Amino acid sequence: MTRRIPLPRTLLAVCLLGAALAAPARQASPDTGYLAAEALPDGVALVPPPPAPGSAEEARDQAHMQAALALRDRPRFAQARPDADLDFPQAAALFECALGVPVDAQRTPATLRLLQRSLVDAARSTRGAKQKYQRPRPFLANGAPTCTPEEEASLRDSGSYPSGHAAIGWAWALTLAAAAPERGDALLARGREFGDSRVVCNVHWRSDVEQGQALGTATFLRLLAEPAFRADLEAATTELAARRRNAR
């Protein structure tokens, strides 16, 4: 039986959409990650080839996509659009509901830095496999629109497998759960939902998301060996705890 993509809780959807609408103008995010090129996970070695045409795995991807397409006029599809935007400062709000406190440059600079720099590392972890496999994105196969029509032209020539967004979202979920373990369940659930948004948006197959999340995990494990990352993680743990105390 194909797992149906769940609709978000109403409060979470409202929080996410409200944060997106209230976000200030975009600003450039740092383009330097924590990891040197040689320290990045080897996506080509870690990720198996995408499902072969006619395989059971490919049929699973197709069935999961059909369930996602049925959400087009539902709140879940509306949520997928802000989940697609990784530009800061908007992106800092994507996990705020699960984290329980806002993230900004003034009061949680280390947390913001973790998100910005780990984004670079997680995205880079998927590039080798994307370039090797060049899997077409689902909207090219099913002809249905995506949640980001303005990006469709550029996505046509961008490999679908594995998902860079899913790698980033899962690396973020693991990082924030390490900094705020008492919010771990909510953050991991949000990371899974963030990956599901790529299927709902009609820009990734389910297996793209799963392998992207695998590379997000591999990236996080590599990051734990980096002193600069560990220092920011410790600082984020302290500043997030302080924000929660002050909010009581």
Catalytic residues: 165, 198, 204, 208
**Structure-token pair, residue 25:** 């103008």
**Structure-token pair, residue 110:** 């280390």
What does each C-alpha distance from 60 to 55, 65, 76, 134 come to in angstroms? 9, 9, 21, 20
Residue 102 backbone phi and psi in degrees, to 5: -70, 155
How far is residue 176's CA from residue 180's CA, in Å, rounded to a whole number? 6
Cβ count within 10 A of residue 196 = 26
Residue closest to 75 by CA, chosen among 10, 143, 155: 10
Residue closest to 168 by CA, chosen among 29, 13, 68, 62: 29
Cβ count within 10 A of residue 103 = 26
CA 183 to chain centre: 18
End-to-end CA distance of the chain: 44
